[in-house]
Amino acid sequence: MPSLFHVGVEVRDLEAMADFFAELLRARKGERYENRRSGLRTIFLDFDGGTRIELLCRPEASFDPSSFHLSFLVQGREEVDSLAERARRRGLPVVSGPRVTGDGYYEVLFRSPEGHSIEATSVKA
């Protein structure tokens, strides 16, 4: 059976968004790639557990950053609360939570600096 290798996320400011994921969500940044012919620039981000995100910055690209969400599994309610507070201190909009969902998860949903929906979820108690 195939396994998911990575998810690509379109961004406007490649370096700023790579720094955002590294600082707030502790991602490890890979090397920057640039296709000189097409102008595409990318950076891979690696997270604990093997999850990878490829940030893609294309010239003249248009996208709706709130049309999907990225959910990160964290180690408990304290980490959800900590991420919510760190997002608020950075001036990022916290859309909902922290809260217990109807199916028993504890989560917070906030927006990245470019408007992507970012969710931090802890496992059910």
Position 28 scores a pLDDT of 97
pTM recorded for the entire structure:
0.79
The yes-or-no verdict on residue 71 having pLDDT over 80 is yes
Q: How far is CA 76 from its chain centroid?
A: 18
At residue 45, does pLDDT exceed 90?
Answer: yes
In the structure, what pLDDT confidence band is assigned to residue 3 with cuts at 50, 70 and 90? low
List domains and CATH numbers for the chain: 7-57 (3.10.180.10), 69-122 (3.10.180.10)
Say which DSSP state 48 is in: G
Confidence of residue 1 (pLDDT cuts 50, 70, 90): low
Task: Encode pLDDT of 51-66 as tens digits.
Answer: 899 999 988 767 777 7
pLDDT at position 125: 59
What are the residue ranges of helices labelled H in the chain?
Answer: 14-25, 77-89
Q: For residues 91-97, give the mean pLDDT.
A: 95
**Mean pLDDT of the chain, nearest integer:** 89
Alpha-carbon Rg for the chain, nearest whole angstrom, is 15
Give me the mean pLDDT over the 79-105 stretch: 93
Residues 76 and 60: their CA atoms lie apart, in Å, by 40
pLDDT at 39 over 70: yes
Can you give the three-state secondary structure of 57-75, one letter per residue? ECCCCCCCCCCCEEEEEEC
